[in-house]
A and B are shown apart, each in its own frame.
Chain A
Amino acid sequence: QITLKESGPTLVKATQTLTLTCTFSGFSLRTNSVGVGWIRQPPGKALEFLALHYWDDDKRYSPSLKSRLTLTKDTSKNQVVLTMTNMDPVDTATYYCVHSLRYYGSGRAVDAFDVWGQGTKVTVSS
């Protein structure tokens, strides 16, 4: 059974750096086609992709947030860590850690987020 759990501060101040840890079990990030990523959702708003760490150490970041995001992994601890610099009140959201699988077919591919963590609420104060 695949599980993911987010941990980190619930409250940060503007301009500070946010560090969130995703601890997962039930799979290995060394397995082909597997990824661990982060998606956030501001209160009452839509889902927003942040970043994704692949099994082959490739990484993808949201183009609009790329300059503020860094993903690292600790394979021995089954953890993926997201850091986001220069936090602002507009970054207040629930942050989800997700497991992704890549599906191929007809010359196309897609990474689908098939298991989600429970989410962690982060509030940014001014």
Chain B
Amino acid sequence: SYALTQPPSVSVSPGQTASITCSGNNLGDIYACWYQQKPGQSPVLVIYQDTKRPSGIPERFSGSNSGNTATLTISGTQAMDEADYYCQAWNSATVVFGGGTRLTVL
């Protein structure tokens, strides 16, 4: 079955750029989405179709997808961005989620 692999944790200093990767076989051939989940809250869609931001998501969130890797980039990271992030894709007519990455802003 298809698998998406994320690093368990990423750390970033406030104001710096955070990059969270998601790896899967030929992931660049399909669309990726990203979700943010803060403690005790439901996930929120932050990127869809590789690069698009839903209404209300700050411009500092951006995405890319090529080859075997999709990347979520947060520019000028703020303390409020500290959260778990999950990538998601469709493969063989089913949904696959990555294992999640905890972003720490310190």
Report which A residues bind B (CB closer than 8 A): 39, 46-49, 52, 60-64, 96, 103, 105, 108-114, 116-119
B42 and A96 within 8 A (CB): yes
The interface residues of chain A lying within 8 Å CB-to-CB of B1 are 63-64
Would A46 and B100 be within 8 Å (CB), given that A63-B94, A110-B33 are in contact? yes
Report which B residues bind A (CB closer than 8 A): 1, 29-33, 35, 42-45, 48-49, 52, 54, 86, 88-90, 92-100
The interface residues of chain A lying within 8 Å CB-to-CB of B54 are 114
A47 and B42 within 8 A (CB): no
The interface residues of chain A lying within 8 Å CB-to-CB of B42 are 96, 116-119
Complex-state Cα separation, A114 to B34, whole angstroms: 10
The interface residues of chain B lying within 8 Å CB-to-CB of A48 are 97
Complex-state Cα separation, A105 to B32, whole angstroms: 12
A46 and B45 within 8 A (CB): no
A47 and B96 within 8 A (CB): no
Complex-state Cα separation, A46 to B35, whole angstroms: 12
The interface residues of chain A lying within 8 Å CB-to-CB of B32 are 110
